[in-house]
A and B are shown apart, each in its own frame.
Chain A
Amino acid sequence: MTTAPLLASTWPVTSVGVVVTVLSLLLAVVTGVLAALNRRITRWVLALVALLELALLVLTVQLVVAWAGGNAPEQPVVLLAYLLVVLVAAPGTVWWGAAEPGRWGTGVVCIACLLIPVLLVRLQQVWDVSVAVTGHA
């Protein structure tokens, strides 16, 4: 697929998407283990979350640039909705989980880290409908 020409509605952020997915799944494992040990989120986990959010912002910028350049998503409204959720997921759950000491607060962040890769797949599907397998909106 590396030689595919740039067509309209081609998912433009493959490499950053891989970074986001790997980081997110790594964080899901780390927070999952911390939750099992009944620990709070540590400082370096927070740093990883910040890194994940940074990667998501880079991804967003890439999407906007591609969109402005004529490579528009096939379902723009749905795409924006997913993009909004994927951007608030990590900071939102860190905020929501911080108020809860112990495993359950950490578990909340773990859920976001499991959600983000799924949302990324959906983002890709609504950008380029030919990728979609389930077909619903």
Chain B
Amino acid sequence: MPEPTATGPDEAEQGSSADVTAGSTKHGPGRVLITVYAILAVGSTARSLFELVTKFDQAPVPYLLSTFAAVVYCVITVALVKDTPGWRRIAFVGMVVELVGVLVVGTWSLVHAETFQNTVTGKGVHSVWYWFGLDYLFVPLVLPILGLNFLRRTRSR
């Protein structure tokens, strides 16, 4: 298919990343997105494994919510790296789940603090999406918005 517009290599080199990387989730801004998702995936997976193994009984709901967040981050990371139309759809669904999850769990942790409590000590217990991702400097709240915007902008036509 011939290019309808005169988009030369010079223009492509100067940025305008959406044009250069149309359709790819592994290049351009996707490279940075994968990095942040991978960091959150490693962080939340390690955290939830540790919580499940050492103290699951003390606060099952927050720890299961952490595990759920970890699974979502792992799926999105893999999907973005795989970079095929099918995996792209999975990444999209994952980010929607992530956005809904962080909003629901964040609100839940604010309005119903009793759920986020250690049954043994009575102390508050955090979860990955606790207070909209407070433990991760609110990156979990911003990331799905950036991610969904990235997928929309790099959609292949």
Contact = CB atoms under 8 A, between A and B. Distances in A.
Contacts of B55: 137
Interface string B101-125: 0000000000000000000000111
The prevalent SS among residues of A at the interface is helix
A15 B65 CA distance: 38
A85 B42 contact: yes
A67 interface: no
A118 interface: yes
Interface string A91-115: 0010011001011110110011001
Nearest to A135: B123
B70 to A, nearest CB: 13
Interface residues of B, number: 27
B39 A111 contact: yes
A135 B73 CA distance: 23
The prevalent SS among residues of B at the interface is helix
Nearest to A110: B32
Contact of A104 (B14, B27, B47): B27
B135 A136 contact: yes
What is the size category of the interface that chain A forms with chain B? 20 to 34
A14 B124 CA distance: 30
B48 to A, nearest CB: 10
A115 B38 CA distance: 12
A78 B36 contact: no
B15 A103 contact: yes
Contacts of B51: 137
Nearest to A114: B137
Interface in B117-141: 123-126, 135, 137
Interface in B46-65: 46-47, 50-51, 54-55
Contacts of A136: 125-126, 135
Interface of A: 38, 77-78, 81, 85, 93, 96-97, 100, 102-105, 107-108, 111-112, 115, 118, 134-137
